[in-house]
Homo-oligomer: A and B are copies of this chain.
Amino acid sequence: MTTQAKSEQSDLPDNIEQRVESLVAERLDALVKERVAQAMKRDPAKRRVAIIASKGTLDMAYIPLILATTAAAMDADARIFFTFYGLNLLKKGGPEKLQVAPIANPAMPVPVPNILGMLPGMTPMATRMMKGMFAKHNVVSVPELLHQAIELDVKLIACQMTMEVMGIRREDLIDGIEFGGAAMFLGFATGAHTTLLI
């Protein structure tokens, strides 16, 4: 508003006008500061946890499920978007069949030379070993984690494009999940602080 417009509009005594201005300025400053601080604290991005699960091995299945169930237990809106090999986790009977191959990973707890790791029987053996290690320490299994995720309202989304490409039908997947694409993931992730890809 220009000075002219102001003086035209106003027919208050000068001191009253000034006092009104200073009162407004004074109140406004504090209030805006407080409200902005509140809004930042309540920022909905803090409550959103967006995870892409692109791996279908036993070891890499624990990570998204443990993170998402923990986030949901902390009252966050956690969503896992399953794409590529990650879709194996959503297949009926899929979580029970996940495996881990003891090759190309010299960082395994019990490293196996690749020339042995590639032998038939080694992948099932490594899988049994890893499952045993988790069970022994009372870590819930992947099927159980998936069940917990559903109970805790973690949203599970199957990537439609990958389903088509890999010939996976809706009836191949467990119930209670949603279907979407990259745009659906980004629509959620662009408003989330925590965004992770496994």
The residues of A with any CB-CB pair to B shorter than 8 Å are 1, 9-13, 15-29, 31-33, 35-37, 39-40, 43-47, 49-50, 52, 54-57, 59-60, 62-63, 66-67, 70-71, 73-74, 76, 83-85, 88, 98-101, 103-109, 113-115, 117-120, 122-123, 133-134, 136-137, 139, 161, 164-167, 181-183, 185-187, 189-198
Interface contacts beyond A9-B19, A139-B165: sample of 17 additional A-B pairs, CB < 8 Å, sorted by A: A9-B18, A16-B16, A16-B19, A25-B27, A28-B28, A28-B35, A32-B36, A45-B193, A59-B85, A67-B185, A71-B186, A99-B107, A106-B123, A113-B120, A113-B123, A114-B117, A115-B120
Partner of A165, one of B100, B118, B133: B133
Closest to A118 in B: B114
**Contact assessment for B20 and A19 in the assembled complex, using a CB-CB cutoff below 8 Å:** yes
Which residues of B sit under 8 angstroms from A107, Cβ to Cβ? Answer: 55-57, 85, 88, 98-99
- C-alpha gap A74/B195 in the complex (Å): 18
**Contact assessment for A70 and B197 in the assembled complex, using a CB-CB cutoff below 8 Å:** no
**Contact assessment for A20 and B24 in the assembled complex, using a CB-CB cutoff below 8 Å:** yes
Which residues of B sit under 8 angstroms from A39, Cβ to Cβ? Answer: 32-33, 36-37, 40
A191 to chain B, nearest CB (A): 6
**Contact assessment for A67 and B195 in the assembled complex, using a CB-CB cutoff below 8 Å:** no
Shortest 10 CB-CB contacts between residues of A and residues of B: A56-B107, A36-B39, A85-B107, A104-B104, A114-B118, A70-B182, A99-B106, A32-B35, A196-B197, A189-B194
**Contact assessment for B83 and A108 in the assembled complex, using a CB-CB cutoff below 8 Å:** no
Which residues of B sit under 8 angstroms from A9, Cβ to Cβ? Answer: 18-19, 22
**Contact assessment for B165 and A134 in the assembled complex, using a CB-CB cutoff below 8 Å:** yes
